[in-house]
Amino acid sequence: MRAAFGETLLRLGDQYHNLVVLTADVAKPTNVYAFSQRHPDRFFNVGISEQDMVGIAAGFSLSGNIPVIAAFAPFLMRAWEQIRSTIARVSLNVKIVGTHAGLSASEEGSSHQSLEDVALMRVLPHMTVVVPGDKQEIREATEALIEMSGPTYLRLGRDEDLRFLEGDRVFQLGKAAILRDGSDMTVISNGGMTPEVLKAVEQAKVSARVLHMPTVKPLDQDAVLSAARDTGHIVCVEEHSIIGGLGGAVAELVADKCPVLVKRLGVNDDFGESGPRDELMRKHGLEAAAIARELAAIKGGNVP
């Protein structure tokens, strides 16, 4: 997934001569190292100083460049105040890319596991927030965010190698992809959770509409409200805290415009911990079998 981002950024660097890349001493793990080799005059490693990196990126934007910030998602949160005051408040054209998000930095423990980043970025006015799910979608989302004007946050994992979307163009900013239709309920997910959701629907033997929702902000309101009206129950699944992320965005929308049950599956108001990723996913109920049990319970009228 990170490789798909790095390859796309390299290609866009050839196309956009005002595209500059900044990182906080993590060029190789964020996969922007190739860009630094091809375009050394447009690559800046500021060291472990995320706040300064954001300020420098703001300056590049004000001088007509397209700055891309690439760093580990949890440590970008160190610079949230600078992102808020220097970038979002004046709607600068800065592209923020957080890698190693969610539980993907599993063995490194809670300090490296970003479970709050979507919530923190979504609350900022003017900020576009995207959580793509497969390699082709990452390529297309990266290109779309570079082409648009304004501050953006792109959330990536670490070592996933996923492809589950079909077609020549799989990503549309602000649009959900309907991967499956059904009448019992709707399941909404993004990132690497969508393949688990598809498996879970099969295991639970439920008739579920599956919406892959890569854009958390702006949310595809039409798709969510149509699902609420057509299927009633909605289940949101994300590799993030259940507070403030995709589930929070969906719950806020339907509470205002079409109240239905919204069940949020994610990390339940807790920090991460060190361990193998599959074990952490199992602990937080984010593997297909656990999701299937939740779906079966809802179908049976036994809402947990």
pLDDT of residue 241: 97
The answer to whether the bond into 218 is cis (omega within 30° of 0) is: yes
Predicted confidence (pLDDT) at residue 138 exceeds the cutoff of 90: yes
pTM of the model: 0.95
Q: pLDDT band at 163, cuts 50/70/90?
A: confident
pLDDT of residue 252: 98
Predicted confidence (pLDDT) at residue 28 exceeds the cutoff of 70: yes
pLDDT of residue 304: 57
pLDDT of residue 76: 95
pLDDT of residue 169: 79
Give catalytic residue positions. Answer: 50
pLDDT average, residue stretch 6-30: 95
pLDDT average, residue stretch 209-215: 97
pLDDT of residue 44: 97
pLDDT average, residue stretch 99-117: 91
pLDDT of residue 160: 73
Question: Sign of dihedral through CA atoms 176, 178, 181, 185?
Answer: negative
- Whole-number Å distance between alpha carbons of 42 and 142: 18
State the amino acid at position 40 in one-letter form.
Answer: P
- Buried-exposed string 28-45: b where 16+ CB fall within 10 A, e elsewhere: ebbbbbbbbeebeebbbb
Predicted confidence (pLDDT) at residue 198 exceeds the cutoff of 80: yes
- Tens of pLDDT, residue by residue over 223-273, are 999 999 999 999 999 999 999 999 999 999 999 999 999 999 999 999 989
- Tens of pLDDT, residue by residue over 260-281, are 999 999 999 999 899 999 999 9
pLDDT of residue 107: 86
pLDDT of residue 303: 64
- Strands 43-45 and 66-72, bridge-based pairing: unpaired
φ/ψ of residue 25, rounded to 5 = 70, 25
- Tens of pLDDT, residue by residue over 165-179, are 887 778 999 999 999
Catalogue all structural domains in the chain, each as residue range(s) with its CATH number. 2-155 (3.40.50.970), 177-299 (3.40.50.920)
Question: What integer best gives the mean pLDDT of the chain?
Answer: 94
Which pairs with CB-CB distance under 8 Å and at least 24 residues apart come from 284-288? 284/103, 286/103, 286/193, 286/196, 286/237, 286/239, 287/196, 288/196, 288/197, 288/199, 288/200, 288/203
